[in-house]
Structure 1
Amino acid sequence: MESQDHRYRLLIACPDRPGIIAAVSDLLYGRGANITSFDQYSEGPEGGYFFMRAEFEVPAGVEEEELAAALGALAPAYGMRWSLHAAARRQRLAVFVSREDHCLNELLWQTRRGEIAADVALVISNHPDAEEAVRAFGIPFYHIPVPPGGKARAEAQALELLEGRVDTIVLARYMQILSPDFVARFPARIINIHHSFLPAFVGPRPYQQAYERGVKLIGATAHYVTADLDAGPIIEQDVQRVDHRHRLADFRRIGRHIERMVLARAVAWHVEDRVLVHDNRTVVFPR
């Protein structure tokens, strides 16, 4: 297998103007880098934004600190927001789940098979139901109940487990609303799956709402969590057609499959550094 020790991923967002690609390419070329993948998207130079993702490899001896220093020196001239990621550094995930385990199971299988290039470091749940399945994968499981009035204490317990151990939190049908203080600790690092095609049917019981409304499409949405309920930047969505013959139980059954796939894709793209957040939107560079 080809070594990734000298491979990096670079994400850039900045106001659009001529010369950005040339400046970045020259910086990398000057350090002997070979660009192996390159994607860019421009909203247009008239007040628009420019987004870029590059994968590249550098010769042995070119250190990450040197690359970061060079990018830091270049950034002010273009107003760049940038991030540099070593390809060999796998993200560590914390998965939060309640009773429904279909999204959790998909994440466990896809990380084990290598289809999601990350490791599940631990699973936290407000119910004990998934413990046996999680421990079968050799992953630590923590049951942290959230009784009425006990959210602050539960979040404090979770933070003790998370600090310094995980890069990203995935809410895999975790049926609790996280506090703004908790969310603020992990900006653009908490991914939620909502079982509707947002912005339709925000909040609880979206399948019930969709069924009562008589919709002909149901869907799921993976998004970053913000302090506003179900309103964070959307990473991925999908839908499936339904009709008058489908009952509420059918909506839930069909929806579970959509949720699993949508969340898994969103997590895979996130850990491969394919998602750039701009305002309350995302730019997602495909595989």
Structure 2
Amino acid sequence: MSSTLPPTATILVSCPDRRGLVATLSGFIHANNGNIIHADHHTDRVQGVFLTRLEWSMDGFELERKAIEYEFSKLASELEASWQLHFSDSIPRLAIWVSKQEHCLLDLLWRHQSGELRATIPLIISNHRKLEPIAKQFEIDFHYIPIDKTNRGDRERQQLELLHKYDIDLVVLAKYMQILSPAFLAKFSRVINIHHSFLPAFPGAHPYRRAYQRGVKIVGATAHYVTEELDGGPIIDQEVIRVSHRDSEIDLIRKGKDVERIVLSKAVWLHLQNRVLEYNNRTVVFD
């Protein structure tokens, strides 16, 4: 039924807080005969930042799409605003990167197959061949690109060429056990990672082992945007599950994988729905 509905436009805005911002931004839509169907706002009073997500129907809206960008850019300049404009009938293209673990990859592909993730997934990249049969099963192109310290520059150039060739909008690291270099991120920055820890606890490698040794009572997972700072990018979603003294390290890993699947898929869904707004290495999630 949703496919018969007219497309919508969504605008995400962050700017210095001032009086009348909600009226000003919604007034722009109203003045062009737009009908707002979703609106959400947040003010960070400590940092003095206003953030909003406005979604409206394009049915009867008086501005063409390119004209929306032009006209709103003038208003954004007056507000000193950072902003993004998205349309519901523009389908993002995802590349999933993996190493040897399949649980997050399969979860994303199943959710995509069921229609839960509104995107196209034309490409899987891996530094191992182990998961190639899954790509074949789902009829997705698979590219094996082994990478180490000696060839990282050449391999990342190869990866970037593939992202350009497949016109990729978002890379999802579904247990891809390699660090992306600052040079790579300078050329392609829209990347989501799943970390098997409730960050900032136990960043880096072997978090379950360290959690087990510490005797924690919860384990979790964190999905975040990737930045140059290792495991330090803006957090999109997190979740935890309780563990006890009876759980072994293997039990922690098993329970943790369940959480990883849920957290990564939700973060990707939120991103695809244009519900995440970044500012100052933080996020506001309009869920």
TM range (shorter): over 0.9
Work out whether 1:176 is the aligned partner of 2:167.
no
1:50 aligned partner, one-letter code: F
* Counterpart residue number, 1:248: 249
- Write out per-residue CA displacement over residues 111-138 of structure 1, whole angstroms, 9 at most, x where no aligned residue: 1111111121200000011111111111
CA distance in 2, matches of 1:132, 1:249: 26
* Distance verdict in 2 for CA 1:33–1:234, change over 3 Å: same
* Counterpart residue number, 1:49: 49
* Counterpart residue number, 1:167: 169
CA distance in 1, matches of 2:96, 2:113: 14
* Counterpart residue number, 1:85: 86
2:182 aligned partner, one-letter code: P
* Counterpart residue number, 1:136: 137
Following superposition of structure 1 onto structure 2, how do residues 1-287 of structure 1 map, counting pairs within 5 Å? 1=1, 2-3=3-4, 6-44=7-45, 48-58=48-58, 59=60, 62-163=63-164, 165-187=167-189, 189-286=190-287
How big is the shift at 1:147? Answer: 3.7
How big is the shift at 1:276? Answer: 0.4
CA distance in 2, matches of 1:24, 1:150: 49
- Write out per-residue CA displacement over residues 163-221 of structure 1, whole angstroms, 9 at most, x where no aligned residue: 1510010000000011111112233x100000000001111111111111111110000
CA distance in 2, matches of 1:16, 1:148: 45
1:192 aligned partner, one-letter code: N
CA distance in 2, matches of 1:23, 1:192: 36
Determine helix, strand or coil for the equivalent of 1:163.
Answer: helix
Determine helix, strand or coil for the equivalent of 1:32.
Answer: coil
How big is the shift at 1:3? Answer: 4.0
2:153 aligned partner, one-letter code: A
Equivalent pairs counted in the alignment come to 284
1:144 aligned partner, one-letter code: I
Amino-acid identity (%): 45
- Write out per-residue CA displacement over residues 239-263 of structure 1, whole angstroms, 9 at most, x where no aligned residue: 0111111111111111110000000
- Write out per-residue CA displacement over residues 93-125 of structure 1, whole angstroms, 9 at most, x where no aligned residue: 111000001001111111111111112120000
Give the alignment's TM-score, normalised by structure 2: 0.95
Unmatched segments (≥5 aa) in structure 2: none
How big is the shift at 1:66? Answer: 1.2
Give the alignment's TM-score, normalised by structure 1: 0.95
CA contact (8 A) 1:235 1:282 kept: yes
Cα root mean square deviation, aligned? 1.4
